[in-house]
Amino acid sequence: MLSSIRKFSTSIYAKILLGIVIIPFVFWGMGSSFKGGNKNIVVKIDKEKFTIQDFANYIQSFGPVDKKLNSQEIDKFLSMFIGNKLIEKEYENLKIKLSDKSLGSLIKNQNEFKKDNIFSRTQYEKFLIESGLSVVGFEVYLAKEEKKKQLLNFIGGGILSPNFLVNDIYNKINQKRYIELINLNDIFKNEFNFSENDISTYYENNKNSFQQIFKTIEILEVTPKILVNSESFNDLFFKKIDEIDNKITEGKNLNYIVQEYNMTKGNIISFNKFGEDLNSKKIATLDANIINQIYSLDESEKTILIESKDKFFVIEIVKTENVQKDLKNESVQKIIVESLKTSIKRKSMAEIISKINEKSFQENDFYKFSKDKNVNVQNITLENINDTKILDSNVVNEVYSKPENKIIILNDISLTKNFLIFIKKIENVSLEEKSDEYIRYKKISENTLKNRLFNTYDNYMKKKYKIDINYSAVDTVKNYFN
């Protein structure tokens, strides 16, 4: 049955059903607590227990075929699994039922089972055979999905948005905004003049931040050609790899391995946890997986066998040292200069923000600031919230979240983009009920109301059901799928 459901879950029809199922999981999310107990139990909802096998079957039914899943992906599946069980409990408690007649009508109205626009029993049976599903298994599954759909309709169905909400949403998206912008980077660049003393003082005050742990290793890639004189990965090669792994476990070092298997010595490399050498240059031959494994080793482990990207490496840690980077190092000076630049940016913007908050930086101050700093004011018209011809979407969204006559500072996390913006005018817009766009925005408004209702229902379910998650069992599932 598991393989049958897997085949069905990849069909077009299953994707439609899955869309129905996923809706409540979006607003449910993860919010449960951990409790110990049976190691085989992944989650307990009230008194009902669900095992590792139940959860694994769910992932195998809906997850990608032959693909490893990371921890975050498993957590998402867990949220979906819990949400799925809660929805089932809800439609059972509400006694939502589907008669055989209704189920039959549902099946007959699926386009996938029609021929010449009429239900075809042959097409239906062909679908079941190709999907590897039994009639009973498919119809039980379909009935569950329809009940979930009816529950969602029960919660959010019948919602009608009033005209003022439709226009409110339309206006928020389509209103025209006239802004004036000062690029603060044009000001900052005139202040980026740092003396050798500035750089030296910063270095002395932050010397510890320029210390890094460096690992020096000897690394030898073990290929079929080197190990068994073959161009391909064969049984003999993997047998020898297992032997090497066992010898390392017994305490044998890299030099012993080289002599025992008549191989040449490896390369000596020194690097930090970022995979950079002493000159802060990336080492191309080391991928992140190898670096992470080396830095996670216990101090007692000196020699290891690592498999990464279908390659095998024997690695021996020669030494571990705390390296103090010198001020003459080019990368150190670059870091210091960037830090000094960031400090100036933060200080300057903090002063302006403080004045804005104290209401001592008004429209006239905006223009005076431009004149005093000898920078141009750029006039920009934003046609709607999706107008990103000049500014990126993050900046535009922030502008649209602020009121008229508001002065704001906007910047990205790295402080590479820094703007002082005056929202000069907002030109509101509205829709006529007879317009072509009205129906579309009416649906958007109704979906917004439904989402709010779903959030309320979410809080209701969190209080209604007691949910305990056994994260040790979840980790077992994660290890299986990783």
**Model pLDDT for residues 422-475, shown as the tens digit of each residue:** 999 999 999 998 888 999 999 899 888 888 888 888 788 878 888 888 888 888
Cα–Cα separations (whole angstroms), residue 18 to 23, 80, 151, 167: 9, 11, 15, 32
pLDDT given at position 371 = 95
Sheet holding 303-308, edge to edge: 267-271, 211-222, 311-324, 303-308
Q: What is the pLDDT of residue 204?
A: 92
How would residue 70 be classed by pLDDT, with cut points 50, 70 and 90?
confident
Q: DSSP for 7-48, please give it.
A: HHHTSHHHHHHHHHHHHHHHHH-S--EE----TTEEEEETTE
What are the start-end ranges of the E strands in 412-466? 418-427
Q: Give every CB contact of residue 128 below 8 A, 6+ residues apart in sequence.
A: 134, 135, 138
Can you tell me the mean pLDDT for 36-51?
Answer: 83
Residue 339 has pLDDT above 90, yes or no: yes
- Report pLDDT for 26: 39
Query: What is the average per-residue pLDDT within 217-222?
Result: 92
Averaged pLDDT, 112-141: 84
The pLDDT, as a whole number, for residue 438 is 92
Mean pLDDT throughout 323-340?
A: 88
Residue 289 pLDDT: 86
- Where helices occur in 206-329 by DSSP H, the ranges are 224-228, 235-249, 254-260, 288-295
- Write the pLDDT tens digit of every residue in 221-278: 999 999 989 888 888 999 999 999 999 999 999 999 999 999 999 999 999 998 988 8
Confidence at residue 7, expressed as pLDDT on a 0 to 100 scale: 40
55 membership: H or E segment, kind and range: helix 52-62
The pLDDT of residue 239: 92
* pLDDT of 417: 93
The SS3 assignment for 405 reads coil
Q: What is the pLDDT of residue 38?
A: 66
Average pLDDT, the chain: 85
Q: What is the reported pLDDT for 243? A: 92
Q: What does the pLDDT look like over 366-408, one tens digit per residue?
A: 999 999 999 999 999 999 999 999 999 999 999 999 999 999 9
Looking at residue 1, its pLDDT comes to 33
pLDDT at 4: 37
pLDDT, position 66: 66
pTM for the structure as a whole: 0.59
High-pLDDT (> 70) share of the chain, %? 92
* Banded model confidence at residue 34, pLDDT cuts 50, 70, 90: very low
> How much is the pLDDT for 349?
95
